[in-house]
Structure 1
Amino acid sequence: MCGAFGINQNSSLIKILLEALHISTEIESDLNIRPNARIPISIGQGGQATGVEANWWLFQKRTETGFTYHNQWRSFNTRKDKLFSNRQADFSYRRCVIPASCFYEWKGNRYKIEPVDKAIAFGGLYKVWHAGDEPPHYSCSIITLPPHPKLCHIHDKSIPLMLLPEEITPWLDDSFHNPNYWLPTLETKIRFDLRVTPVDKKEPGKEIGESEIIPAD
């Protein structure tokens, strides 16, 4: 389960991805983004990638001061099996891309996981919430797949969906609604080489051990 990720604005790779997603490159670095944080995402609108800000928790509730996470559902991630049942409408019509430099998993220690030579484009879902005449409020979740054997010593529950560069444009095509098209994409695979590094539990920017490379399948 992906419970935290980071964006490093000092990386040229994340800036390239943000520009491709039509997300402002002026966002600040944050190496410890946690559920319900306000994060940049890209959605498809009229055939174009469009950057918006969203809460990283799919189901929201209205409060006196705005929207926040609905604690009845733990929805910052969405499992693959739900994409063809109770999340199928979102999967067919409301796909998004969530940019990141790395993500973290815990198994005894905390580990930073990052591609060797690219930024991460998480495949996700989004919802739009309305309250009177206020601007629309967006929320999102990251899609997670069954675990991969190469990463089970780091985390043996799931792996987040990381899109290949050539999949981003069709993923954001808001005129394309066939969920079965994405079955190959939703297979559990290591799609590019990953670097795994032990980091401090409270300060994820502080590396505390040697990195290992998990090669692509």
Structure 2
Amino acid sequence: MCSVFDVDDHAGMERFLKEYGVHHPKRKLYGRRRRPTQRVSIVTARHGEPSVETAIWHLYMERDGDNWQKLDKRPEYRKSRCLIPTTAWVESLHAKNPVKFSYGEPFFFCGLYKTWGDRLSCSIITIATHPRTRRYHDKSLPMVARADQDFVQDWLSGGEDIASFGPYLHPHIEYAGHPLSVRPVERATSTHYTGEPLDLS
């Protein structure tokens, strides 16, 4: 799982959302160290155009050995996919030595959403860990959307043809040519750093 994540409020996020044609960017919620059960911003196309909506971040993905339990069988994966705009996330190794992961620019987590009347909840899809991140967090990595207009459009379309997503359920640590950076923090919920960033290239 992704323990907590950041959504920094700066012009780069606005440009990022505009680049992907996301409507209603002013609805965007910002904040560091967003935690499960908090309100977060997601992007869905359930009303036609990609738009920012508010959802409760709720974790309901479970791991089964080296596979993620029946992701392709979940109706949300086939019909209710979303994207979660972010700038970083924090993980730890067995609740110790937390670190912040980032690419130095905004990106999307791949997620799923559910509707509860007029409310939404969301989850972040997690995949197997990468060899270069295992020393920091040995359980998983969040699934990061490709920096590609076609991928984003296909992901949000809600179409049930999910075969094209298969290659992206394997861990990658580069994003749009940027290496994944890791930086130690005092606590998972702290913004105080205890060391310099290191690129995992």
TM range (shorter): 0.7 to 0.9
How has the CA–CA distance of structure 1 residues 184 and 23 changed in structure 2, closer, same or farther, with 3 Å as cutoff? farther
Instruction: Tell me, yes or no, if the aligned pair for 1:111 and 1:196 is still in contact at 8 Å.
Output: yes
Residue from 98, 102, 108 that aligns with 1:121: 108
The number of aligned residues is 188
Provide structure 2 residue ranges, at least 5 long, that are not aligned to the other structure: none
User: Mean Cα displacement is larger for which, 176-185 or 30-39?
Assistant: 176-185
Give SS of 1:119's match.
strand
| TM-superposed deviation, 1:203 | 5.2
Q: Which whole-Å CA distance do the structure 1 matches of 2:127 and 2:109 have between them?
A: 12
Change (3 A) 1:93 1:24: same
- Aligned pairs (5 A) from 1:79-158: 80-85=68-73, 87=74, 89-107=75-93, 108-116=96-104, 118-130=105-117, 136-158=118-140
Distance in 2, Cα, partners of 1:102 & 1:201: 15
Partner of 2:40: 39
**Distance in 2 between the 1:202 and 1:159 partners?**
16
1:70 match: none
Q: Deviations over 1:155-195 (max 9, x none)?
A: 00000000112121211113x21122210121222232111
Cα offset, 1:128, TM superposition: 0.6
CA contact (8 A) 2:91 2:99 kept: yes
CA RMSD of aligned residues (A): 1.9
Q: Is the 8 A contact 1:31 1:204 kept in 2?
A: no
In 2, distance between residues paired with 1:28 and 1:96? 16
Q: Which has the larger Rg?
A: 1
Deviations along 1:186-216, one digit per CA (max 9) or x if unpaired, are 122223211111112165322110110012x
For 2:152, the equivalent position in structure 1 comes to 168
- CA change 1:151–1:177 in 2 (3 A) is same
- Tell whether 2:173 aligns with 1:190: yes
* TM-score where L is the length of structure 1: 0.79
Structure 1, gaps ≥5 residues long: 58-73, 131-135
State the 1:18 CA deviation.
Answer: 3.2
Report the secondary structure of 2:174's partner residue.
Answer: coil
Structure-1 residue corresponding to 2:52: 51
Amino acid at match of 2:129: P
- Alpha carbons of 1:142 and 1:191: their partners in 2 closer, same or farther (altered >3 Å)? same
